[in-house]
Amino acid sequence: MEPRPETRPDGRGRALRTPRAAGTAGIVFALLLAAAMVMIRLAIPSEPGTGSGEWLTDPSRRRTVRAALELVPFAGISFLWFMGAVRSRIGDAEDKFLATVFLGSGLVFVATLFGAAAAAGSLLATAGSSGAEPGGQLWVFGGHFTYGLLTTYAMRMAAVFIFSTSAIGHRLGVLPRPLTVLGALTGLTLLFVTNSVAWSELVFPLWALGVGLHILVVGAASPPARR
């Protein structure tokens, strides 16, 4: 009996499944990250380090932030899967320079995203300990650290990832021109706007959603030919 496509030793089954995997992972990442960002924005002021720690003393806000932080690891895992599946679809035609920037920026983005989530989780754990009084220097430092790590470093690495992905997609014809233009605008927004305009970081998951949907639709309509 002929092996099933997904278990063939020549890898044909995996090649056929890559577009669907890339698109699905991109969509899952976009939805999880957008949900986490919205929940955090609703629960925490734009600059949490400048406040008195009121959100830490509000049980409802703390539960919202804790739920958002629970989504972050799964968003990061989906993003790594998205990166791997996209790179697999590009294959040997990838440009080594752009591929290095693509991988490096994506990995640093995940690391800084996890770091910001861990810092926010530490604030929650400290606020819940006995004798803790939110509003002191610890919370000012922790708020600034978390906010800066997310909006300054993670979003700028996301911008570099978007630029490299758009450049690779444009050169190889994997992404249509409207998506590459959207990628350039999204990257510029993340580079220069996120520190001053609230909610602007949501353009990243929106871009990932568009790319995921495109790869999913195009991959389903015209799967790679068998060798």
Q: What are the residue ranges spanned by the domains of the chain? A: 9-221
Q: In the numeric block, which tokens belong to residue 118?
A: 């861990």
Q: Give the number of other Cβ atoms within 10 Å of residue 162's Cβ.
A: 28
Residue 131, pLDDT > 80, answer no
Instruction: Tell me what pLDDT residue 15 has.
Output: 43
Statement: residue 77 has pLDDT above 90: yes
Query: Distances from the Cα of 136 to the Cαs of 116, 127, 143, 191, in angstroms?
Result: 20, 11, 11, 31
Please count the other Cβ atoms lying within 10 Å of the Cβ belonging to residue 108. 17
pTM to 2 decimal places: 0.82
Pairwise pLDDT comparison (199 vs 203), residue with the higher score: 203
What radius of gyration do the chain's Cα atoms show? Answer: 20
pLDDT at 148: 84
Q: Is the pLDDT of residue 7 over 50?
A: no
Residue listed under structure tokens 């606020």: 127
Q: Is the pLDDT of residue 159 over 90?
A: yes
In one-letter notation, the amino acid at residue 71 is: L
DSSP 8-state code for residue 195: T
Q: How confident is the model at residue 157 (pLDDT cuts 50, 70, 90)?
A: very high
Check: CB of residue 194 under 8 Å from CB of residue 46.
Answer: no
Place of tokens 């577009």: 19
Return the pLDDT at 219.
66
